Amino acid sequence: MAKTSSVEKNNRRRKLVDLYAAKRKALKATVMDKEVPMEERFRAQLKLSALPRNSAKTRIRNRCEVTGRPRAYYRKLKMSRIALRELGSLGAVPGLVKSSW
């Protein structure tokens, strides 16, 4: 099991990303638009950099929903390989046949 503080920090980041997503998208569009005057683009860039760092989507770490493990994460299942193996052994994952010989 991962540290509770790490999992909670990641959850806070997810909330911030949702909160600032629209504002960040609008500012990014202004910065990337070549038709807008340079001064306005620069002001938009300054506003974008003034937003909290944790509001950027790239700061979110994919974590296992069962254990919170940050590595060996399967996006489709939203869990780590270790949790998948344990649940597969118990027969809790539909469609997964785990064999051992």
100, pLDDT greater than 80: no
Whole-angstrom distance, CA of residue 31 vs CA of residue 44: 6
Q: How far lies 82's CA from each of 13, 37, 55, 78, 88, in Å? A: 25, 53, 30, 12, 10
pTM of the full structure:
0.83
Residue 74: pLDDT band with limits 50, 70, 90: very high
15 three-state secondary structure: helix
Residue 97: pLDDT band with limits 50, 70, 90: confident
Q: Where are the beta strands (DSSP E) in the chain?
A: 73-74, 79-80
Tokens of residue 69, six digits:
């493990």
pLDDT in tens, 20-48: 999 999 999 999 999 999 999 999 999 99
